[in-house]
Chains A and B, each alone.
Chain A
Amino acid sequence: MRRAVVAAASGLLFGGGLMISGMASTENVLGFLTLGEGWNPSLLFVMGGALLVSLPGHLWLKRYRSAPWLHASFAKPAGAIDHRLLFGASLFGVGWGLAGFCPGPALVNLSLMQGAALVFVPAMLAGAWLAGRR
């Protein structure tokens, strides 16, 4: 129960942050990814703000906590920087640059029943399903 509450709080903070930061607007994301006149730097401030909290937070955990408060261990995904990672990241980047949606903002817009997300999210789930079949 406590774990569900913490997870829900994290999801709420995450979704609220996406809305407040303006990152739920594809206009702002595309404005950042499109270089040139009228370039919109806000995504840089969002990433910066997130890392400003998260980076020292993680360093603190690393130094003072051997395990999270409500679970036995920290997830530490590791692996090689291989073709799969780099190819996946580049395909993701192309899709992101075409529509201005990455998964979080797409779901926020889906919840708000915004037209673009109603098209994008099913396509995204289909793409993930295809990748899982490989």
Chain B
Amino acid sequence: MTMALAGGMLIGLAVWVLYAGLGRIAGISGIVYNIAERGQRHWRVPFLLGLLVAPWLALAAGVPMPASALPQGTGALLLLVAAGVLVGFGTRLGNGCTSGHGICGLSRLSPRSFAAVAVFMGAGVLTATLLRPWLLGWLS
């Protein structure tokens, strides 16, 4: 759990640096979906490049490759596509994800973010605990 805590602190520092320096919210979904927006590219593009380069640096420094295997079987693949669509649709509609609402929003003590985090945490736990095993069994 030491690595989880240390990694979390780096994420917190990243969010703070962007807000303290540029006054911007380090919300990954907002940054990615609006990457081409004029007038904002000067910070969104370098942020995204940093985010994409970092995992390679981490690997080079000896951090293990993440365990995110491609699931086997057509049913599991369909589930992954559906999950992607839901995450994209939901984060755009709700204006944020685990980073923008979860870390930046909570740190800014935003009531909207507290509500969003409670809802997506609750939905995530219910889905992973109850719906996912049932769907995987049904699809296989």
* Chain A residues near B (Cβ < 8 Å): 3-28, 30, 33-36, 41-43, 45-55, 57-58, 61, 65, 67-81, 84-112, 114-132, 134
Contacts and interface: CB of A to CB of B under 8 A. Distances in A.
A85 to B, nearest CB: 5
Q: Is the interface of B mostly helix, strand, loop or mixed?
A: helix
Contacts of B131: 94, 97-98
Given A19-B63, A49-B9, A93 B120 contact: yes
B93 A17 contact: no
B92 to A, nearest CB: 4
24 contacts: A6-B17, A13-B11, A17-B10, A21-B3, A22-B3, A25-B66, A30-B132, A35-B129, A42-B1, A49-B7, A54-B12, A57-B12, A57-B16, A58-B108, A67-B23, A68-B23, A77-B25, A88-B116, A92-B91, A93-B122, A116-B68, A123-B88, A127-B85, A131-B88
A104 to B, nearest CB: 4
Contact of A50 (B8, B17, B25, B42): B8
Interface residues of B, number: 104
Contact of A22 (B4, B18, B47, B88): B4
B12 A50 contact: yes
Q: Which 4 A-B pairs have the closest CB atoms?
A: A21-B7, A11-B50, A49-B8, A88-B94
Contacts of B54: 11-16, 18-19, 108
Given A33-B127, A68-B21, A128 B89 contact: yes
B20 A69 contact: yes
A99 B80 contact: yes
Contact of B7 (A11, A46, A76): A46
Contacts of A120: 80-81, 83-84, 87
B40 to A, nearest CB: 10
